[in-house]
Homo-oligomer: A and B are copies of this chain.
Amino acid sequence: MDSPSPRAAAAGKRQRLTAATARVLHEQGVERTTIADIARAADVPAGNVYYYFKTKDELVEAALAEHSGYLTSLTHRLDQLADPRERLKGLIATWVGQRDTAARFGCPTGTLAVELDKRTEGGLDLAAGQVIRQLLDWVEQQYRQLGVADPDGRALALVGAYQGMSLLANALRDPEIMTREGARLACELDGLT
């Protein structure tokens, strides 16, 4: 279409703002990111942002929804694999594939959780935790289908290992930490009876 309808243009801008917010919050953190930063990244005029989002917190919420949507599409893709063990190994491979981003900026949801958890007001302090919970639940289901003992404990261990290796890779600026830990986790999966 050469001339998208105003409604379509508006939806496009809203989507661009959401995607840009997710990216910029990951790179700069919530507190160091200004509305102007987001507008620039989305190529939307600064004064126009408030037409689409009433407050900065609404932008943060939209970014969290974006992360949740990404996670949903990732797990749906992995669900195509027949073997739950292969699904978990696919998840680990995805993490390792993002090692350079992780070494520079950490896990998008994990770092957001750390920042939001410091808040006492606004009601977003536990919002990132819900996205992490979504991942934990999916991982637990895979262990359950594998028929191993303590599926939720194992899910905590796997997702915890991911958050931990992302934080270390980020703090030490070393993507190879993701590779090494990913290999170890895949090995452990292979060793499960």
- A residues sitting closer than 8 Å to B (CB atoms) are 27-29, 31-32, 105-106, 110-111, 113-115, 117-119, 126, 128-129, 132-133, 136, 153, 156-157, 159-165, 167-168, 170-173, 177, 180-181, 184
**How far, in angstroms, from A157 to B118 measured CA to CA in the complex?**
26
**Can you report 6 residue pairs joining A to B where beta carbons are below 8 Å apart?**
A115-B115, A126-B171, A156-B165, A159-B164, A160-B164, A163-B167
* Interchain CB contact (< 8 A) of A111 among B114, B157, B168, B181: B114
Q: Which residue of B lies closest to A129 (CB)?
A: B171
Q: Is the CB of B29 within 8 A of A170?
A: no
Could you say which of A106, A111, A119, A164 has the most chain B C-beta atoms within 10 Å of its C-beta?
Answer: A164
* Interchain CB contact (< 8 A) of A118 among B29, B117, B136, B162: B29
Q: Which residue of B lies closest to A113 (CB)?
A: B171
Query: How far in angstroms is the closest Cβ of chain B from A156?
Result: 6
Q: Is the CB of B153 within 8 A of A184?
A: yes
Top 5 A-B pairs, shortest CB-CB distance: A164-B164, A160-B164, A31-B31, A29-B118, A129-B171
